[in-house]
Amino acid sequence: MHSVTPLLPGDLNQSCDPGSLPFKTTDELEDLGCMLGQERAVEAIELGTGHDLQGFNLFVLGPAGTGRHSFIRQFLQEKASKESVSTDWCYVNNFDEPRKPKAIELPAGRGRRFRDDMTQLVKEASSALPTAFESEDYHNRRQEIEQQANQAQEKAFQEVKEQAEELDLGIIQTATGFTFVPLHDGVAITPEEYNKLSEKEQERLQQDIADHAEIILQASSGEEEGANSIIADPDEIDPQSAILRRYSVNLLVDRNDSDGAPVIFEDHPAYPFLVGQIEHESQYGNLVTDFTLIRPGALHRANGGYLVIDVRKILIEPLAWEALKRALKSREIDTKSIAQAYSLIGTVSLEPEPIPLDVKVVLIGDREYYYLLMEYDPEFLEHFKVAADFEDDMERSDENMLQLARLVASIVRKEELKPLDNSAVARVIEESSRNAGDAQMLSTRMRRIADIVREAHYWATRNDNSVIGTDEVRSAIRMQQRRMSRIRDRLLRETLRNTILIDSEGEMPGQVNGLATIQLGNFIFGHPVRITANSSLGAGKVIDIEREVELGGPIHSKGVLILSSFLASRYVTDRPLSLSASLVFEQSYGPIEGDSASAAELCALLSSLAQAPIKQSIAITGSVNQHGQIQPIGGANQKIEGFYDLCKARGLTGGQGVIIPASNVKHLMLKQSVVDAVANGQFNIYAVSSIDECMTILTGLEAGERNHKGEFPEQSLNQRVVMRLKEFADRQKKSSG
């Protein structure tokens, strides 16, 4: 077996040469006019917004900080500015059924004119009618008509009376007019009750002002009774207000000042703010309403354009998600209160006429929401057929590095920050690769980059520099980490005080330093953990103590179960695995998940079986499969740095180091202090491909490879494991008879 040599300093960090960047400062660069590294998502957005068929709404998914919101805002505003302005919508009184106000659609800007004209009409009627009824011509004409009517009535009455008496009928006057009754000896008898005739429906004039001229006169003169009779609210005490409300226009959506189609970002998509609401007024202890109290929602304001909603916010609002789907399916906005829509109360309320809906909805959220909705809501894909999936990273090519530099220039110019020189941009590029967790990639989470540039501007101002350099960028990165590193520093402090037991020197069988990561918000750090294994005669089971006490997650448990399969298939194929072993993370008091410690657990188990001490100066991370191959893991940079920080605090000896999977080398973007320590021979990083290479480094013993007979070399570590397992099997066979 070939020996594993430590990695070279050049393998640990893919630096960016400032000289390779074709500019001296970002002032020389143009603004970035496109979305960085998101070609696939942009294509989906163009499809979704360019398709008019029902259901082709957008779901923009991806991690936060990639610029989803800002790009959607810019894209939609540019697109909407080239589209026609949407229409105005008004609600007016329904004179036949006041509970059901009528919706009126008008060209953009006409709604405001319509409202103002109706207000002016009522004002003019209120002043013109009293003047007309007080004029001399009106009184003369009225007196003439009354005289003519009285004369005609008297003449007709006499003629009818004479004819009735010939038929022994009499005429009597009642409160409602005249009626005939039988006569007996000239005396009227009690009449039977007659069926009443139905009244003829009166013709209705436009906006029914003529029919209510008398009421308008009463309102103008201050009389209350008549005015109150024409509105739904019997407690209204202002006659003039009553008239104005009856003939007013509720301008729900006003596009008078609009330029292009509307683009609405609804930050609070609660049910009433989404579909609109009907407000109430308190009068004499009662809640009353009318059509003037209908308020628009986000769907009203976005009608004819685009509505953007954060999916998490709408999902946590009661019944809002169902209301949105219902509106998209029916293609109309039906404004009702939650209680009215779901028959929670029986009180009478308004039922406004629904408004036709033509809107493109864009939901923005994490991938988890998209896949959960796809799985559990069968109507989801009916309404959101286009997914725009934003990338987490992009290739670290020369072109993309220049694009990133242009993005930095855009931020600098937009926020009026100090320019960055090429060395500072090179450091930003390196940090972007570190954020991506891959030396060959760049992170697309631009929020982190923007924050670094902003903070570097602060340090440049403090240092009285006109240009941001490498020192300012490093200060920004270092101080960001310092502000979030209280827990990390406390763990290190308690380890140095031996409250947390981690050895970084000496040897011990069945004990190894594994590496774990902790994530607190956007801050991830690594720290060493002690993993121990015990082995004895048993029934072939490897006990995961973390799983037994329900602290181990399913992926971690899977990694431990693989160990039993590996032992049985590699070492004792001709007899049963008669082993009882236990594995545990020492001083771990919280959940453990992931399989990145399975290689360390197997090393501890093999060390216990072979009674081969493990060097405590070397930590290990990696996943192992059933064939003993080491598989890549996440957080390699943070895990290495976590153990390095402990070793540095105790004093670097040159024998300390970390074992990582060989497939993780391309991900390394270690901080400069680790690279310098490796270059000076004070720290070592090993890249391995098999568990045998791990055991050789950790124990100093050759693991040994099988010969043509399938046997391991004498005194090799693997041979020790075989002999121990055979001993267990023989003892098990003997004890069972």
Q: What is the pLDDT of residues 685-694, one digit of tens each?
A: 999 999 999 9
Confidence of residue 479 (pLDDT cuts 50, 70, 90): very high
Residues paired with residue 281 on neighbouring β-strands, in sequence order: 288
Q: What is the mean pLDDT of the chain?
A: 84
Main-chain dihedrals φ then ψ at residue 411, nearest 5 degrees: -65, -45
Residues of the chain above pLDDT 70, percent: 85
Distance CA 222, CA 10 (A): 93
Nearest Cα neighbor of 247 from 93, 350, 91 is: 93
Nearest Cα neighbor of 470 from 1, 9, 15, 5 is: 15
Mean pLDDT, rounded, for 473-477 = 95
Lowest mean pLDDT segment, chosen from 32-46, 50-64, 129-143, 540-554: 129-143
* Buried-exposed string 35-59: b where 16+ CB fall within 10 A, e elsewhere: bbbbeebeebbeebbeeeeeebbbb
71-80, 342-351, 596-605, range with greatest mean pLDDT: 596-605
Mean pLDDT, rounded, for 211-217 = 58
- More reliable by pLDDT, 145 or 616: 616
- More reliable by pLDDT, 174 or 34: 34
pLDDT at 225: 42
Q: Are strands 523-537 and 579-585 parallel, antiparallel or unpaired?
A: antiparallel
pLDDT at 731: 85
Q: Which residue has the tokens 């391991």?
A: 712
pLDDT at 217: 57
Sheet holding 386-389, edge to edge: 263-266, 306-310, 360-365, 58-61, 386-389
Distance CA 105, CA 272 (A): 22
Residue type, 675: V
Q: Tell whether the torsion through CA atoms of 177, 181, 183 and 187 is positive or negative.
A: negative
Q: Tell whether the torsion through CA atoms of 645, 647, 648 and 653 is positive or negative.
A: negative
596 included as an active-site residue: yes
CB–CB of 514/608 below 8 Å?
Answer: no
Distance CA 550, CA 344 (A): 44
Q: Give the max Cα distance, the chain.
A: 149
pLDDT at 576: 80
3-state secondary structure of 277: strand
CB–CB of 250/294 below 8 Å?
Answer: yes
Confidence of residue 539 (pLDDT cuts 50, 70, 90): confident
pLDDT at 144: 81
Q: What is the pLDDT of residues 325-379, one digit of tens each?
A: 999 999 999 988 777 776 666 566 788 889 999 999 999 999 999 999 999 999 9
pLDDT at 201: 39
Q: What is the pLDDT of residues 391-444, one digit of tens each?
A: 888 999 999 999 999 999 999 999 999 999 999 999 999 999 999 999 999 998
Q: Which of 639, 671, 690, 716 is catalytic?
A: 639
Q: Tell whether the torsion through CA atoms of 555, 556, 557 and 559 is positive or negative.
A: positive
pLDDT at 694: 95
pLDDT at 134: 65
Nearest Cα neighbor of 732 from 600, 537, 478, 472 is: 537
DSSP string, 373-390: HHHH-TTHHHHB-EEEE-
DSSP string, 524-592: EEEEEEEEEEEEEESSSEEEEHHHHTT-B-HHHHHHHHHHHHHHHHHH-TTS---EEEEEEETT--S-B
Distance CA 659, CA 697 (A): 8
Confidence of residue 172 (pLDDT cuts 50, 70, 90): low
Mean pLDDT, rounded, for 482-510 = 94
Residues of the chain above pLDDT 90, percent: 49
Q: Which of 432, 596, 623, 716 is catalytic?
A: 596
| pTM for the predicted model, two decimal places | 0.76
Mean pLDDT, rounded, for 226-239 = 43
Q: What angle do CA 415, 421, 424 make, to 5 degrees?
A: 90
Distance of CA 142 to CAs 153, 205, 221, Å? Answer: 16, 22, 21
Confidence of residue 238 (pLDDT cuts 50, 70, 90): low
pLDDT at 195: 39
Confidence of residue 464 (pLDDT cuts 50, 70, 90): very high
Q: Other CB atoms closer than 10 Å to residue 60's CB: what's the count?
A: 25
Nearest Cα neighbor of 495 from 485, 483, 487 is: 487
CB–CB of 280/289 below 8 Å?
Answer: yes
Q: Give the list of residues 6+ apart from residue 554 with CB closer than 8 angstroms, or none.
A: 593
Q: Which residue has the tokens 């002002």?
A: 209
100 included as an active-site residue: no
Q: What is the pLDDT of residues 638-677, one digit of tens each?
A: 999 999 999 999 999 999 999 999 999 999 999 999 999 9
3-state secondary structure of 355: strand
Nearest Cα neighbor of 20 from 400, 402, 393 is: 402
Q: Give the list of residues 6+ apart from residue 543 with CB closer than 8 angstroms, or none.
A: 580, 581, 582, 583
Distance CA 171, CA 246 (A): 43
CA 513 from chain centre, in angstroms, equals 39
pLDDT at 441: 94
Nearest Cα neighbor of 450 from 76, 64, 74 is: 64
- More reliable by pLDDT, 100 or 646: 646
Confidence of residue 129 (pLDDT cuts 50, 70, 90): low
Distance CA 303, CA 105 (A): 12
pLDDT at 482: 93
pLDDT at 603: 95
pLDDT at 391: 87
pLDDT at 132: 62
Q: Angle formed by the axes of helices 213-221 and 110-133, to 10°? A: 80
Distance CA 351, CA 278 (A): 9
Q: What is the pLDDT of residues 248-289, one digit of tens each?
A: 888 888 888 888 899 999 999 999 999 998 888 887 777 888
Distance of CA 92 to CAs 101, 126, 186, 233, 291, Å? Answer: 6, 19, 59, 16, 7
Lowest mean pLDDT segment, chosen from 40-44, 318-322, 528-532: 40-44
Confidence of residue 708 (pLDDT cuts 50, 70, 90): confident
**pLDDT over 90 at 384, yes or no:** yes
Q: What is the pLDDT of residues 559-588, one digit of tens each?
A: 788 888 888 888 887 778 888 888 888 988
The residue ranges of DSSP E strands in 114-185, in sequence order, are: 169-174, 177-184
Distance CA 204, CA 538 (A): 98
Nearest Cα neighbor of 467 from 475, 477, 476, 457 is: 457
